[in-house]
Amino acid sequence: MRLATLKSDKPDGTLVIVSTDNSHYVSAGSIAPNLLTAIEEWATLESQLRRLADGLNAGDLNEAKSFDSSHASAPLPRSWQWLDGSAFPQHGHLMQQAYSLPPLDAGQPLMYQGLSDRFYGPSDAVPFASETDGIDFEGEFGVIVDAVPMGISAKNAMNHIKLIVQINDWSLRNFGPTEMKTGFGFVQAKPPCSMAGVALTPDELGEAWQDGRVHLPLRVDWNNKRFGEAQGHEMEYGFHEIIAHAAKTRDLVAGTIIGSGTVSNKNYADVGSSCISERRAIDMIEFGEIRTPFMSFGDSVRMEARSQTDAPLFGAIDQQVKQN
């Protein structure tokens, strides 16, 4: 099942069901006014949503309309909580090698809590205060969970993954080092994220969803040039393990969004990167100097993961950065 949110005069938008080829949609407002409500009441509402999806995909609904994911908002325009992991070890290894950092062997998933009161839609222009702040994109996969009880096991956490999403976790790199030294985590370095327009139930990915990981490449283009297409399966910890880590000492409220961190692969020389910061680290390793700048106003970034048969899934994030 595929879900999306259309922009409306309500901050949470309007919930719709999207067909399996992303070509049509039908309103799900009679079942739930928005996706946050649907997630909060998933156990009750899922069967109704799936019946509506079945009717749409069978061509039985005359009220179906053409769908363009670029016109959607983020599936969850806002939520209660956004937790971002850093589950791709190669990304950390490159940073350590480039900048002579001590190895970080935490023995558990890495995670920070970011702002969740807004998520940009897939085609929204993204405002920043200054080009000197180190504007960077980060291509990620993410999941949305229903209510997760404290102390859950990783095995049982898998059952709480209700939707899979595609995320651009924007970063302002020049604030990061100072904020990390404080020990209090990110604030200025982490503005709102962006999300592709379609959220998928895990079954929509078929064999591409295994072990709590998305086994697909995330294609990233910067200013219309291919920047990377790293695979999502090289996570050190699957999403179920990241969820269990986050819920070790507290419940997770329904609608919590959890990110994978920057998608990064061992064969980065072949597949490229999903963020500029990693490319700059590779510059240091290969050339002894940074040759790749951060983004400038007017730059664009496009991200899209497609199926193993090259069919659309989440839709594309295709955005331009602008001066606030």
pLDDT of the residue at 54: 98
pLDDT at residue 101 above 80? no
- The model carries a pTM of 0.96
For range 302-308, the mean pLDDT: 97
> What is the C-alpha separation between 193 and 170, in angstroms, rounded?
5
**Number of neighbours of residue 254 by Cβ within 10 angstroms:** 23
For range 178-204, the mean pLDDT: 92
In angstroms, the first-to-last Cα distance of the chain is 37
pLDDT of the residue at 184: 84
pLDDT of the residue at 84: 97
Tens-place pLDDT, residues 10-25: 999 999 999 999 999 9
Tens-place pLDDT, residues 272-289: 999 999 999 999 999 999
> What is the C-alpha separation between 303 and 140, in angstroms, rounded?
9
Domains of the chain: 2-67 (no CATH), 74-323 (3.90.850.10)
> What is the C-alpha separation between 163 and 2, in angstroms, rounded?
9
**Number of neighbours of residue 93 by Cβ within 10 angstroms:** 17
pLDDT of the residue at 95: 84
pLDDT at residue 168 above 90? yes
pLDDT of the residue at 303: 98
pLDDT of the residue at 102: 76
